[in-house]
Every structure is written in C-alpha cells, then in structure tokens.
Chain A
Amino acid sequence: MSQLRPVIDRYATARVNANPGAHGLSGSAEYDDEVRAGAVYTAEAGLSFFHTHAEGLGLVLFFASTLVASVVPWRRARAALYAFLTAGGLFPLGYLAYGAGALELGRDAGIDLAERWILTPLGSAAIAGLLGLALLLAVRSRSAP
C-alpha cells in the first residue's frame, strides 16, 4: 500500500473511469473529479482497513482458538467454536471486497454489497464465537474448584 500507492491510485482512477454509470459521472470535470476522489479514497480505505483488521484478527483467532483448545472440554462445542472463530477470521477479506466494490459498482453500492454479504455475516460469526467462548469460560469458572 505504501510502495505501490501511485500504482493503486492510477488503477483505482482507471476503474472509476471505466464504470461511469455506476459512479454517476456527469461529464462535468469539477463534479466528476470530486466523485472520482471519493471513490479512490474509499478503495484506499478498504485496503487500509484490510491491513489493520487482518493483522489484528489473525492474533485474535490464534489466541481465542488456543483458549478453546485449552479450556473447552466438550468436543462438539470446541468444533463449533473453531468454525465460528475461523469464519470470523476471514472478516478482513470483506474490506478487500469493500474497496473493489466501491470501484466497480459505485461507492455506496460497493460498500453495501461488502457489508451485507461479507462483513456482517463473518463479523457476526466472530462475535458469536467469542460470546460462545465467554459463556463456556463463565460456566468453567463457576464449576472450577
């Protein structure tokens, strides 16, 4: 993102220009420049969010699944938690879709698609996995001698 910034900018601008209908480009230079800048900014934000969330969620997945392996004695519960947490670990890919969608489908439509089909389901999986783990930890802490 840092080294290839000019290349990314050029690519993003080209994709906006290739989808004028999706972005509502009007032919007026002043208006179109503003729309183009907004879409390119959103695409860059998507990349930036992907980077930060992928770094963080990798660690969350590592630690949370280690806790599951260590403190959850029930096989089916462990399997379910692993499934939820692993699905949740894929959440950052939604930001790649967010960035690409903003360029190909228009800013609002692209963000809506990424949120509805990737970020919300995978984010919910991560939250469900963590809340499930918290619940089982609470049960363990009450039953521990």
Chain B
Amino acid sequence: MNRPPTFHAGRAHPAPIVAEPWRLPPVTVLLVAVVLIAGAEVGGASMVRFKVDLTRWARGVMLARPAVHGLVGVRDVDERVLDEALVKFDGGLRLFHIHAEGMGLVIIATTTVAATLVSSAPARPAIIALLTVGGAGYPLGYLLWAGLIPYVGLERGKAIAEWLVWIPFGGATILGLWWLSGALAFRLVRR
C-alpha cells in the first residue's frame, strides 16, 4: 500500500512506501481451515435436523449400559442421570460446532500472519504446521467426548477426549501461538 504523495513548497514529492504484502499460507492449510468450518456448519445443521434421532440413539446406548451410568431401575433416579448425560451429549456437539467455526478462522488468520511476518525459514513452516494441526484437531475432541458419553460415561469420556485430543492438539495450538508471538516480538525489537 503506497503512502499518498506529500506536498512541499507547492510540489508533490511522492514517497512511495510499499508495505509488505500479505502472503497466504500453503493452500493445504487453507483447505484444512475451510473444511473445518464447513464441517462445523454441517455439524450445527445436523444437531438441529437430527436432534430427536441423536437423542434417541444416545439414550438407547445408555439404557443398554446401566452399570456405566449408575442406573438403578428407579425411574426418578434414572431419568435425572439420563437427562444430565443427554444435556452433556448435546453440549459436546454444540461445543464442537462453536470451536470448529472459531478454530477455522484462527487457523486462517494466524497462519497468514506467520506466512507474512515470520522471517526465519525453519520456524515459519513449523509454526504453520502447529497452528494447523492443533487448530484442526482440537474441536474433534468435543465430537469424541459426545460420542463416548453414551458408551463410557461422562467422566471417563472426558478423560479420554482430554488425553487423546484436547491436550495434544490444544497444546500444539498454544505452542504455535506462543512461538508466533515470540517471533513477532523479536521482529519488533530487531527493527
């Protein structure tokens, strides 16, 4: 983007300063982000369209595993347990929808910043890879948790999703973001 010409003693002194143009990250990164956002939207639509079927399925799986969910055969007790688990099941799907939408945008924005402003050749692809893999994987943890709740219960499902998905992929995103922040801070200080 050029600065408009400055005027001195009635004459224009064009002083073009070409700012660094934004560079896009690799097309594969953009593809991952767009597919993630599209998946989030399909997930959101499916939650509404198939709400009754999903609830029926989850409830059926839970009733088939009474020991896992602490079902005792007393309606008043069991309905409260089932309701809580179904609310968390629905919550997991919602959280997938929200996080996948958001992380898709985070991937696009942060990898574009990295592609443009990280000058170190080894660091740039590493940061982009961490942000892409971390951002794409993290929301899947909520899908996994929701899917596991009927089979293994709330807490065990959460623990599995945490260790298999949220911690590694969330950790990758956090590492990528701090590395990017460090690279930007270094660039500022170096100027």
Contacts and interface: CB of A to CB of B under 8 A. Distances in A.
B120 interface: no
Interface string B15-36: 0000000001011101100110
Contact of A141 (B27, B42, B45, B102): B27
Nearest to B26: A141
A127 B109 CA distance: 20
Contacts of B108: 63, 67
A63 B101 contact: no
Nearest to A62: B105
B102 A134 contact: no
B34 A71 contact: no
B34 A126 contact: no
Contacts, number: 52
B146 interface: no
A144 B27 contact: yes
B52 to A, nearest CB: 13
Interface centre among A64, A71, A115 (most CB of B within 10 A): A64
Interface residues of A, number: 24
A22 interface: no
A137 B101 contact: no
B37 interface: yes
B42 A127 contact: yes
Contacts of A144: 27
A67 B34 contact: yes
Interface SS of chain B: helix, strand, loop or mixed?
A: helix
B31 A123 contact: no
B35 to A, nearest CB: 5
A130 B38 CA distance: 6
A138 B101 contact: no
Interface string B107-120: 01100000000000
A118 interface: no
A133 interface: yes
B31 A141 contact: yes
A38 interface: no
22 contacts: A59-B105, A60-B37, A60-B105, A63-B108, A64-B34, A64-B37, A67-B30, A67-B34, A71-B24, A71-B30, A115-B48, A119-B48, A123-B45, A124-B45, A127-B42, A130-B34, A133-B34, A134-B35, A137-B30, A137-B34, A141-B27, A144-B27
Given A60-B104, A127-B45, 14 more contacts: A56-B101, A63-B109, A67-B34, A71-B27, A115-B48, A119-B48, A123-B45, A124-B45, A130-B38, A130-B41, A134-B34, A134-B35, A134-B38, A137-B31
Interface of B: 24, 26-28, 30-31, 34-35, 37-38, 41-42, 44-45, 48, 101-102, 104-105, 108-109
Interface of A: 56, 59-60, 63-64, 67, 70-71, 115, 119-120, 123-124, 126-127, 130-131, 133-134, 137-138, 140-141, 144
Q: A-B pairs with the 3 shortest C-beta distances?
A: A130-B38, A141-B27, A137-B31
